[in-house]
C-alpha cells in the first residue's frame, strides 16, 4: 500500500517523503517516485522529517514509533491518515499534541465505504483503475509464487520481508 501511496502522492503533485525499513525497501520506494526516503527505524526519524521542512499530510499504515515521530514532525494544520498498525502498536494520541499545531488525525478504513459511501468508493476505484490503465500506477510485485508455496507467501508477509505485493498463482 505504501508504494501506491507514493505514486498517488506524486500524481497529486506532492513532495513525497517515504519511510521504509532497510536499504532494499528504501531503494524500491525511491524507484516508485519518492522525493526523499528515510529509514523508518532511524532513532532520529522525527528530526529527519523536521529537517525536510516537516509534514503536511501523512499516510500511516504502521503505527508505533513511526506514527509518533510523524505526529511530532507535523506542520501546523497537518493531517495524519491512520489506516493501520502493522507494527502491532495501535497509535495513541494525546489531545495536547493535536491542539498545539491544529493537527488532525483521521482514522480511515477504505473498506467501510462499501456501506457508508458506496458512490465515493466507486468513484475512487474508477480513478485508480483509470490511472492504472493510463500507466500512471505500477503495482510492485516482489514475489510471485505457485499455490504450493502459499505458506512461504504468508511468511514473507508476516516477516515484512517482501518489498511489494506477494502474488500466489493458482493454475488449473
Q: Where are the alpha helices (DSSP H) in the chain?
A: 2-11, 23-31, 45-51, 64-72, 95-101, 113-116, 118-133, 150-158
What size, in residues, is the chain? Answer: 172
- How buried is 128 (Cβ within 10 angstroms: 0-12 exposed, 13-18 middle, 19+ buried)? middle
pLDDT in tens, 145-157: 999 999 999 999 8
The C-alpha cell at 62 is 504502521
Domains present along the chain, CATH in parentheses:
2-108 (3.40.50.720), 140-172 (no CATH)
pLDDT in tens, 68-99: 999 999 999 999 999 988 888 898 999 998 99
Structure confidence at residue 88 (pLDDT) = 85
pLDDT in tens, 16-42: 999 998 899 999 999 999 999 999 988
Separation of alpha carbons 60 and 90, rounded Å:
11
Amino acid at each position: 500500500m505504501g508504494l501506491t501511496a507514493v505514486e498517488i502522492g506524486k500524481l497529486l503533485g506532492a513532495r513525497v517523503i517515504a519511510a521504509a525499513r532497510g536499504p532494499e525497501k528504501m531503494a524500491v520506494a525511491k524507484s516508485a517516485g519518492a522525493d526523499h526516503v528515510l529509514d523508518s527505524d532511524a532513532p532520529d526519524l522525527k528530526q529527519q522529517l523536521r529537517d525536510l521542512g516537516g509534514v503536511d499530510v501523512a499516510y500511516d499504515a504502521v503505527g508505533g514509533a513511526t506514527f509518533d515521530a510523524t505526529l511530532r514532525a507535523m506542520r501546523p494544520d497537518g493531517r495524519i491518515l491512520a489506516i493501520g498498525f502493522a507494527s502491532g502498536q495501535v497509535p495513541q494520541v494525546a489531545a495536547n499534541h493535536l491542539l498545539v499545531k491544529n493537527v488532525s488525525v483521521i482514522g480511515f478504513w477504505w473498506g467501510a465505504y462499501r456501506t457508508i459511501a458506496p458512490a465515493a468508493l466507486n468513484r475512487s476505484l474508477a480513478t485508480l483503475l483509470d490511472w492504472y490503465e493510463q500507466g500512471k500506477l505500477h503495482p510492485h510485485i516482489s514475489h510471485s509464487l505457485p499455490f504450493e508455496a502459499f505458506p512461504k507467501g504468508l511468511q514473507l508477509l508476516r516477516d515484512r520481508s517482501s518489498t511489494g505485493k506477494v502474488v500466489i498463482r493458482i493454475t488449473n
